[in-house]
Amino acid sequence: MNNVSIQGDIRYINFEFDPFTIPVLAAFAPIIYVIPTVFIVIKIIKVYVRCLIRKKQELINPHVFSIIVLSQFLSFCYMLADYSTIRLPSTGIMTSWCASGQPSHFLKVLFMLSVYFNYTSMLFPFLLSILRLIPLYRPFNHEKLSGRIVSISTPLIFLYPFLFCFPLFPALGTCLQLKGDYHFGAIFIFYDRSWFNIKQANTLFLNVIAWFFISTVTNTMLYLKLRKLRNKRRSLKLQRAEFSLSVTTLSMLSAYITNLAFVAAFIFLPGSSAYLVALRPYGNDCDFVSVPWIFYLTHPIFKQQKVLPTEEVRQKWAAVVLMKISS
């Protein structure tokens, strides 16, 4: 992509931002689908609070539901962090400001947050499939076991990225010009002077491959087990709930494919990474947008229940109808 900082370069300091460009349109177009998705996530959280805190629902596994809500929150954080390091800088709106300063820890933190939330997003498909496997293999004590796994895995999810992000602690963030067909002034935020010169792309690449493989294996096991038990379920609603969770978990795997394509290109085909960097944010959006919409539209817990009128109400309706007929 590039390894030459723009900071201190008079050409970039004097750069004038033009709001009427394709990068600006591409950066703000996601608002069309992000805002409705945020409302869907809020609805999911409301149902989660109502059904799991106020009363227990047979269709809801509280541990699975809590992990889905947490994954959506962190996916939204990842999208915002990625927006601040690639989408927004590529429009040119930050170019003059960034070129006027020096490499800083503030810019490093922006980049580090993007990497941090990228790592957290890799863990949820595996964790969800494990939580759904437990009731199938440990039906008598699955609630206690699932609760223990969630209580242990949740803090680990937040700590896991530091195993790979710690070389960035002494690094400084810097702004670089995007190459390829990008216009002059289209930049992105990167880093320099990390510990041990460890490349984040290499560790990301290994993590994506490992977690994609593990998640595929666990989801295959889950599918085979559910296929055997399909005709033994107690109700059609439970079958629909299982189907909803299955397609929701599978939709999370799209993040692996997007990350794998971009990181592999960055390592092995650096010349093409300048073009893939424009597509990667939309691939990341698929995870944030598709998961809540699929979950909300397919799970029966979100279907509005029709409330049947009581006997007293039916009698009043009948009396009103008779009065209209007689008149």
pLDDT one-digit tens code per residue, 139-181: 777 788 888 999 999 999 999 999 999 999 999 999 999 887 7
DSSP string, 240-306: HHHHHHHHHHHHTTHHHHHHHHHHHHHHH-HHHHHHHHHHHHHHHHHHHHHHHHHHHHH-GGGSPPP
Average pLDDT over residues 184-195: 88
Q: What is the DSSP letter of 33?
A: H
CA pair distance 85, 260, nearest whole angstrom:
19
Residue 16, SS3 per DSSP: coil
| DSSP H helix total and E strand total for the chain | 15, 2
Average pLDDT over residues 304-321: 49
What is the C-alpha radius of gyration for the chain, rounded to an integer number of angstroms?
25
pLDDT one-digit tens code per residue, 92-135: 999 999 999 898 999 999 999 999 999 998 898 899 889 888 88
Average pLDDT over residues 278-301: 83
| More confident site: 243 or 114 | 114
Residue-level pLDDT at 264: 81
| More confident site: 305 or 55 | 55
Of residues 128, 160, 36, 118, the one with CA closest to residue 284: 118
In the predicted structure, residue 58 carries a pLDDT above the cut 70: no
In the predicted structure, residue 3 carries a pLDDT above the cut 60: yes
Of residues 33, 34, 32, 66, the one with CA closest to residue 48: 66
In the predicted structure, residue 311 carries a pLDDT above the cut 80: no
In the predicted structure, residue 269 carries a pLDDT above the cut 90: no
CA pair distance 325, 315, nearest whole angstrom:
15
Sorted by where each begins, the domain ranges of the chain are 10-326
What's the pTM? 0.84
b/e map 228-244, b = 16+ CB within 10 Å: eeeeeeeeeeebbbbeb
Task: Give Cα 281 to chain centroid, integer Å.
Answer: 11
Q: How does residue 307 score in pLDDT terms, banded at 50, 70 and 90?
A: very low
Question: What tokens were used for 76?
Answer: 């939204």
Residue-level pLDDT at 309: 46
10-326: in CATH 3.30.70.560:
no
In the predicted structure, residue 247 carries a pLDDT above the cut 90: no
**pLDDT above 90 coverage of the chain, percent:** 25
Residue 46 near residue 38 (C-beta atoms within 8 A): no
